[in-house]
């Protein structure tokens, strides 16, 4: 009984204590404002850059001279001062370019190529070009320089100038020195910034720049239209519903063949609603519209004031023409050989900015992209942009010798002496001119030579590596002629752009000619069995016959008449090793990358009708007074 009373007493005391404590506990645990369980749970924004981030990421709208504002992202490591600025002007979304991962580490949010720069105190700036993503204004594909083709006050040159002016005045962490870089379209905007450039712009590294869309970059090559541009146009210029042309996931060879001409294809998929498509189709020849946009021609007429390092991949499947063309245009001003440099790496389009240990089946000595960025590109920018700048020691020409896997430095480009390799009897190649002869094949537009084994998909890895695909898949076709040397007993090292001199006649009124320079590997190759007998394209390029007398003056070919068709293959540094062979293939189509030549005469191939496409006999002459040859720039 006593124990029971004692227990009750303790319980009473505990209950009293709890009663006294309950108001305080409730005040501590209950939320100040009850959550409305049916309220809208969306919030306006979340700042994913947290206070613990090791960087500052600012977004600003920079005003241009016409009042429009361009969306700009500025990123730098916390604590930097007296820092150089590295700018890129992009049509591919500045916001996404600076949020690769939503990390609190600076090297994680930026593209891989930026890490060496921001880790060494650079300020990285990405800007949406006029009219795209966060930027105001109207978007015009490759907006021409103000003048005859652009009656407005603004272009990429003025936008770059106004951007740089704002940055050096408003980014207090900078040292007032700006460099500009980027690949492809960003290479184009980098070059445009050099026209009437801002005094604070001290260096430029345009990579695979779009320079001349007709001569050899995205839209045409020597007059032949590149059909993959339709997908790019749709993705680039449509706000809603863009992307790839909705032709399904089947064989693109069949899709383009079934559609007919380029214009018929465009009409079938509603692409004529796109102004850029209409413009391109309306200008099939190298007229004033194309010539007035050629950036190498624009730069050639202006004094060079900004040091420039031009970069391109040896197997660039999109913009192989631009960088060497600008180099050739500007080099004549570089009297001390220290203002203009050219770099050619063993890369596909834009691969310089990624890991580059291999390309398709080809493997290099280490990550050649990283090697270039850290050994050559960054030192070039450092010496022109840093306040306490190191001495400049930029190679005038830097190229990677494929076949021998090494970097070469040259004082000029091309660095070889041009020597003819002649087509001859028995489908042979020789260093001496043979007696006269010829070979023929029938080119049928209904069965064009494919660019790759079918089914063909011009996207992804297949597109990125098509230039290094084994060419045995067409060797032996009746409409492909293959000429080959004997086994090489010593290396043949070429440094430059091989030149084609093809003497040919057609039974039609027009024709395309494709020439491939190929490295044929030994049939036995135990060191790398995947390369046994491999036919590696070193240079592949097309020429549209109607332009034999001038790119601005198309004319019908006279049936049976022998013409000298002359053009260049892409720029290369390659070593054909002993035990290999050199091959030259000749054909008249490369489909569906290039539209088909109807081989009859039509004013515009873009508008060719089904009845216009006819078979033609193509005759390739060799030896004597009509000696077909590929001139190789052989290094001594």
What is the pLDDT, as a whole number, of residue 236?
Answer: 92
Q: What is the mean pLDDT of residues 462-472?
A: 97
Give the tokens for residue 202.
């001290």
Helix (H) or strand (E) holding 108: helix 106-109
Q: What is the DSSP-derived secondary structure letter of residue 333?
A: G
What is the pLDDT, as a whole number, of residue 69?
Answer: 98
pLDDT confidence band for 32 (50 / 70 / 90): low
Model confidence over 280-334: pLDDT tens digits? 999 999 999 999 999 999 999 999 999 999 999 999 999 999 999 999 999 999 9
- In this structure, the chain runs to a length of 636
What is the pLDDT, as a whole number, of residue 165?
Answer: 98
Q: What percentage of the chain reaches a pLDDT higher than 70?
A: 95
Residue 4: is its pLDDT beyond 90? no
Give the tokens for residue 408.
């070469």
Helix (H) or strand (E) holding 8: helix 2-29
Cα–Cα distance, 166 to 164 (Å, whole number): 5
Q: What is the DSSP-derived secondary structure letter of residue 212?
A: -
Cα–Cα distance, 379 to 393 (Å, whole number): 8
pLDDT confidence band for 10 (50 / 70 / 90): very low
What is the pLDDT, as a whole number, of residue 24?
Answer: 45
Beta bridge partners of 618: 441, 506
Beta bridge partners of 564: 503
CA atoms within 13 Å, Cβ hemisphere of 602:
19
Four-residue CA torsion sign, 246, 252, 256, 259: negative
The candidate with the shortest Cα–Cα distance to 462, out of 360, 572, 588, is 360
Model confidence over 340-396: pLDDT tens digits? 999 999 999 999 999 999 999 999 999 999 999 999 999 999 999 999 999 999 999
Give the tokens for residue 290.
């194309």
Helix/strand/coil (H, E, C) string of 339-378? Answer: CEEEEEECCCCCHHHCCCCEECCEECCCCHHHHHHHHHHH
Highest mean pLDDT range out of 230-234, 434-438, 524-528? 434-438
Range of lowest pLDDT (23-32, 144-153, 224-233, 509-518): 23-32
- Cα–Cα–Cα angle for 297, 298, 304, rounded to 5 degrees: 105
Helix (H) or strand (E) holding 27: helix 2-29
Q: What is the mean pLDDT of residues 47-63?
A: 97
Residue 49, C-beta contacts closer than 8 angstroms, at least 6 positions apart: 55, 57, 104
Q: What is the DSSP-derived secondary structure letter of residue 233?
A: H
Q: What is the mean pLDDT of residues 584-604?
A: 98
- Cα–Cα–Cα angle for 89, 92, 93, rounded to 5 degrees: 85
More confident residue, 300 or 11: 300
Crossing angle of helices 322-330 and 185-192, in 10° steps, is: 20
What is the pLDDT, as a whole number, of residue 35?
Answer: 75
- Cα–Cα–Cα angle for 456, 458, 460, rounded to 5 degrees: 115
What is the pLDDT, as a whole number, of residue 36?
Answer: 78
Residue 17: is its pLDDT beyond 70? no
What is the pLDDT, as a whole number, of residue 30?
Answer: 53
What is the pLDDT, as a whole number, of residue 27?
Answer: 45
What is the pLDDT, as a whole number, of residue 240?
Answer: 84
Domains of the chain: 55-215+289-410 (3.40.50.1820), 223-286 (1.10.3020.10), 417-634 (2.60.120.260)
Model confidence over 509-530: pLDDT tens digits? 999 999 999 999 999 988 899 9
The candidate with the shortest Cα–Cα distance to 355, out of 369, 342, 374, 335, is 369
Could you tell me the CA-to-CA distances from 473 to 28, 449, 513 in Å, in that order? 78, 10, 18
The gap from C-alpha 317 to its chain's centroid, in whole angstroms, comes to 7
The β-bridge relationship of strands 629-634 and 499-506 is antiparallel
Residue 153: is its pLDDT beyond 70? yes
What is the pLDDT, as a whole number, of residue 7?
Answer: 44
The β-bridge relationship of strands 563-568 and 499-506 is antiparallel
Residue 6: is its pLDDT beyond 50? no
Give the tokens for residue 206.
């345009």
Q: What is the mean pLDDT of residues 169-184?
A: 98
What is the pLDDT, as a whole number, of residue 31?
Answer: 57
Could you tell me the CA-to-CA distances from 199 to 157, 194, 389, 426, 598 in Å, in that order? 13, 10, 18, 61, 51
Residue 445: is its pLDDT beyond 60? yes
Range list of H helices, 128-260: 156-170, 185-192, 229-237, 252-259
Range of lowest pLDDT (25-34, 105-114, 289-298, 440-449): 25-34
Cα–Cα distance, 273 to 289 (Å, whole number): 20
Cα–Cα distance, 47 to 583 (Å, whole number): 59
What is the pLDDT, as a whole number, of residue 37?
Answer: 83
Residue 125, C-beta contacts closer than 8 angstroms, at least 6 positions apart: 72, 73, 74, 75, 85, 86, 87, 88, 167
Cα–Cα distance, 429 to 165 (Å, whole number): 57
The candidate with the shortest Cα–Cα distance to 536, out of 629, 464, 455, 473, is 473
Count of CB atoms situated within 10 Å of the CB of 631: 22
Four-residue CA torsion sign, 612, 614, 620, 621: negative
Please classify residue 312 by burial: count the beta carbons closer than 10 Å to its beta carbon, then call 0-12 exposed, 13-18 middle and 19+ buried.
buried
Range of lowest pLDDT (31-45, 147-161, 174-188, 588-602): 31-45
């Amino acid at each position: 009984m006593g124990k029971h009373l004692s227990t009750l007493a303790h319980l009473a005391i505990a209950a009293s204590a709890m009663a006294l404590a309950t108001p305080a506990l409730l005040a501590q645990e209950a939320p100040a404002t009850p959550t409305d369980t049916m309220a809208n749970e969306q919030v306006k924004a979340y700042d994913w850059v947290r206070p613990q981030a090791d960087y500052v990421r600012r977004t600003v709208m920079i005003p241009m001279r016409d009042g429009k504002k361009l969306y700009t992202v500025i990123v730098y490591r916390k604590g930097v001062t007296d820092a150089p600025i590295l700018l890129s002007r992009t049509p591919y979304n500045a916001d996404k370019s600076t949020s690769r991962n939503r990390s609190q580490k600076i090297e994680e949010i930026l593209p891989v190529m930026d890490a060496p720069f921001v880790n060494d105190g650079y300020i990285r700036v990405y800007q949406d070009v006029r009219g795209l993503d966060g930027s105001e204004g109207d978007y015009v594909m490759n907006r021409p320089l103000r003048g005859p083709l652009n009656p407005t006050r603004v272009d990429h040159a003025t936008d770059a100038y106004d951007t740089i002016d704002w940055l050096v005045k408003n980014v207090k962490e900078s040292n007032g020195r700006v460099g500009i870089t980027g690949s492809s379209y960003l290479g184009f905007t980098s070059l445009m910034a050099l026209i009437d450039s801002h005094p604070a712009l001290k260096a430029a590294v345009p990579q695979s720049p779009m320079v001349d869309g007709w001569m050899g970059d995205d839209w045409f090559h020597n007059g032949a239209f590149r059909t993959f541009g339709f997908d790019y146009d749709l993705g680039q210029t449509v706000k809603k519903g863009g992307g790839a042309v909705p032709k399904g996931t089947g064989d693109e060879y069949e899709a383009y063949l079934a559609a007919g001409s380029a214009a018929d294809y465009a009409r079938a998929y509603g692409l004529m609603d796109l102004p850029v498509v209409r413009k391109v189709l309306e200008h099939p020849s190298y007229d004033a519209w194309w010539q007035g946009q050629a950036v190498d021609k624009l730069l050639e007429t202006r004094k060079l004031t900004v040091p420039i390092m031009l970069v391109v991949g040896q197997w660039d499947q999109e913009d192989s023409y631009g960088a060497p063309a600008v180099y050739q245009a500007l080099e004549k001003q570089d009297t001390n050989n220290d203002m203009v440099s050219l770099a050619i790496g063993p890369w596909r389009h834009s691969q310089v900015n990624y890991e580059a240990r291999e390309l398709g089946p080809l493997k290099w000595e280490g990550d050649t992209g990283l090697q270039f960025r850290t050994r050559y590109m960054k030192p070039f920018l450092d010496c022109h942009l840093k306040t306490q700048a190191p001495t400049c020691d930029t190679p005038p020409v830097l190229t990677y010798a494929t076949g021998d896997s090494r970097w070469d430095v040259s004082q000029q480009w091309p660095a070889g002496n041009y020597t003819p390799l002649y087509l001859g009897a028995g489908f042979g190649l020789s260093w001496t001119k043979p007696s006269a002869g010829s070979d023929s094949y029938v080119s049928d537009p209904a069965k064009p030579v494919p660019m790759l084994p079918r089914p063909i998909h011009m996207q992804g890895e297949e597109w990125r590596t098509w230039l290094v695909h084994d060419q045995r898949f067409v060797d032996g076709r009746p409409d492909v002629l293959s000429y080959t040397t004997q086994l090489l007993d010593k290396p043949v090292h070429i440094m430059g752009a091989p030149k084609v001199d093809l003497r040919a006649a057609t039974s039609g009124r027009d024709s395309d000619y494709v020439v491939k320079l190929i490295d044929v590997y030994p049939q036995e190759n135990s060191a790398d069995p995947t390369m046994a007998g491999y036919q590696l394209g070193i240079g592949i390029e097309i020429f549209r016959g109607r332009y034999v007398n001038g790119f601005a003056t198309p004319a019908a070919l006279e049936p049976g008449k022998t013409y000298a068709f002359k053009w260049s293959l892409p720029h290369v540094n390659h070593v054909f090793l002993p035990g290999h062979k050199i091959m030259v293939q000749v054909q008249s189509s490369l489909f569906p990358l290039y539209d088909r030549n109807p081989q009859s005469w039509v004013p515009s191939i873009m508008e060719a009708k089904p009845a216009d496409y006819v078979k033609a006999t193509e005759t390739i002459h060799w030896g004597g007074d009509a000696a077909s040859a590929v001139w190789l720039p052989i290094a001594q």
